Each structure stands twice: as C-alpha cells, then as structure tokens.
Amino acid sequence: MKFAEIQFSAKKEDFGVHKILLKLPHSILNWYLLQYHPFYIEEMKLANVEGYKVKLYQNLEQQTEKQKKQIEKLLLLLEQKDVIVLLTNCNIIPPDNIKICYGTILNSFLVLQAAQKAIKRQYKTLQESRFLIVDGENSITNLVLDILHPHVNYLSIYTNRQQYFTKKAEQIYENYGLCLEIFTGEKNKLFETFNVIINCSNAMDNYDYKIQKNAFYFDIVQNKPKMQRLLSRRNDLLLSDGLLLKWQNNTYYSKQLEAIFCITENHFHHFLYYDYHQQSVEEIKNLLQQKKITVTGFTCFEKRT
C-alpha cells in the first residue's frame, strides 16, 4: 500500500519535458503538455513508507472538462500503483478505495495535547480552561468529545442536537462528574467565556465577534471559508487547522503522519475506511501513546502560526 502527494503546477519545467521543447511557443507547448504530459509522477518516501509525488498540469487556459479527464486518468494509474491514500489540496474526488488524508483524524486524537500547548501561550492551566466543541453532526464531534471529557473541568457543546447530547451528558456526569453544557444560538453570550474552541462543523454560523479575545480556535474539519473569515476579522486569535508533529526525531504535518499510519497500522486504516467505534478509538489512543508523538506547533493553511 502506498500514498500519493498531488499538487497542481503551472511550471512547465515540472513535467519532465526536454529543455528544447520548453523553448516552443506558449500555445504549442501548452497543447503538448495537455495532450502528452498532463501529470508527472516521481517516487518519494515518508518515514520509509513508499509513495509518489505528483504534479498535475494547470493552466489558466485549460478547460475544466479536460482537467477532469486528466484527473480520472491519473487516479486510475495511481490505483494500479497500489495507492490507497492521497495528500492533496486539489479539488479531487477519488474512487471509494482511495481516501484523502486531511489530518482530521489525527488532529482529533491529539486535540487535548494541542489544547494544552495553546493554553500555555494563554498563561492558563488546563483545570481553569473552558472548552467549547462546535458540533458538526459527524463522527469527529463524537471523537473530540470522547477525547476531551475525561480530562477537563469545563466543557460545553454548541449544537442543534440538544436531545442527542442530553443522553450523552447524563453518561458523562455519571462516569466523571462533569456537567456537559449544551447551548445553541450564534449570538449567545456564552461564546465569550471559552478560551478553547474546537470546531467540528462546516457551517458558517457567525459568532466570530463573540469569541473571547486571544482564544485558541482549532478548526479540526478544515472549514476553509470559516477560517478565511476569522483571519480577516480576528487577528488576536490563535487560529489553527492543523498540527506540526514530532515523531522519531522528524517533524511532519498531521496529514502526513495520518497517511503514514493509514498505510502501516491496521487500526488506523480501519478507522479511516469504516464507521466510528469506541473499541477502535481505544486501540488508536493506545497506539499513539506507544508512538510517543509530540505536538510541536500549529499550522493555518499549512503555514506555522
């Protein structure tokens, strides 16, 4: 099993074309690349895991339909090369047997460690910190809740599924004595009380100006429009949609390490491809503890923050 890292490129020299051909007129060279060299593949490794670095030709004059055919041809070739995971920011819809790793799963499992690092920047402690989970009505919300609730003193969830979480809140209180606060309404003043907000939603609820000053906002699901709006409105916040992780004396983006584990670890592979189960959560938590992964920094649109 292998991975592929795919990027668009408009640099004609990235596609293995002979230097003489690069001197051709722009229109002719553009046609030649689209017809005969729409992508370029070379072998690479991440932590001894074999994979491919792929450059996909992108030109402003290129037709969308032509681009779709290029991507379909590329994905078919990658399937034949035993690729099961992709690392890409390109707008690609892979077949069912190939998944895109965004780092979402690994970010969720390491959410507590990430929050602890952010809290230190705020000169606060874990015990006094107030956590908010923004419900995305997905398994990631459940995972983040399960990771956080045994370790924090103040935890709330912003959701329209009050009935669903009421039962969960009863279980949490019975097992840990923690009162899970449930609320809704984007204008609710409760937003001002949280110094850690974990976003699991792709919705665009407008609570941007309600967030506490200097809060840590961790966008686990990588809601790009939401993050772009927050970046333009709130330069005081610590904004992150990814992590920098140290493992075996090397530093990786969370999505890179997620891809590595999906290939090398059965538990992780199963979690990515199948439904959320509490047993698999415990197995991966134990696995990550054994791996001794450390959160070394935060990223936002793949730039360190």
Residue for token pair 């689209």: 34
Are residues 92 and 107 both part of a single domain? no
Looking at residue 67, its pLDDT comes to 74
pLDDT at 61 over 60: no
SS (H, E, C) the chain: CEEEEEEEECCHHHHCCCCCHHHCCHHHHHHHHHHHCCEEEEEEEECCEEEEEEEEECCCCCCHHHHHHHHHHHHHHHHHCCEEEEEECCCCCCCCCCEECCCHHHHHHCHHHHHHHHHHHCCCCCCCCEEEEECCCCHHHHHHHHHHCCCCCEEEEECCCHHHHHHHHHHHHHHHCCCEEEECCCCCHHHHHCCEEEECCCCCCCCHHHCCCCCEEEECCCCHHHHHHHHHHCCCCEEECEEEEEECCEEEEHHHHHHHHHHHCHHHHHHHHCCCCHHHHHHHHHHHHHHCCEEEEEEECCEEC
- Beta strands 49-57; 39-46: pairing state: antiparallel
Last residue of a domain, one of 100, 130, 157: 100
| Rounded Cα gap, residues 180 and 243, in angstroms | 27
**Mean pLDDT (the chain, rounded):** 92
175-221 tens-digit pLDDT:
999 999 999 998 899 999 999 999 999 999 999 999 999 999 999 99
Tokens of 202: 């792709």
Q: Mark whether 161 and 238 lie in a shared domain.
A: yes
Residues 20 and 165 in one domain: no
Q: Write the pLDDT tens digit of every residue in 212-252.
A: 999 999 999 999 999 999 999 999 999 999 999 999 999 99
Among the candidates 45, 68, 100, a domain finishes at: 100
| Domain identity same for 124 and 263 | yes
Same domain, 40 and 17: yes
Same domain, 46 and 181: no
At residue 63 the predicted structure's pLDDT band, cuts being 50, 70 and 90, is low
One domain for residues 71 and 87: yes
CA 290 to chain centre: 22
Crossing angle of the two packed helices 278-291 and 139-148, in degrees rounded to 10: 60
Contact 142, 277 (CB under 8 A): no
Q: Is 261 left (phi over 0), alpha (psi -120 to 50) or beta?
A: alpha
Question: Which two three-digit tokens encode residue 93?
Answer: 């819809």
Its pTM stands at 0.92
- 110 with 94, same domain? no
pLDDT at 205: 94
Which residues constitute the domain of residue 90? 2-100
Which pair of tokens denotes residue 302? 């793949």
> Domain total for the chain?
2
User: For residue 278, is pLDDT > 80?
Assistant: no
Which of 100, 115, 134 marks a domain boundary?
100
- What integer is the mean pLDDT of 111-130? 97
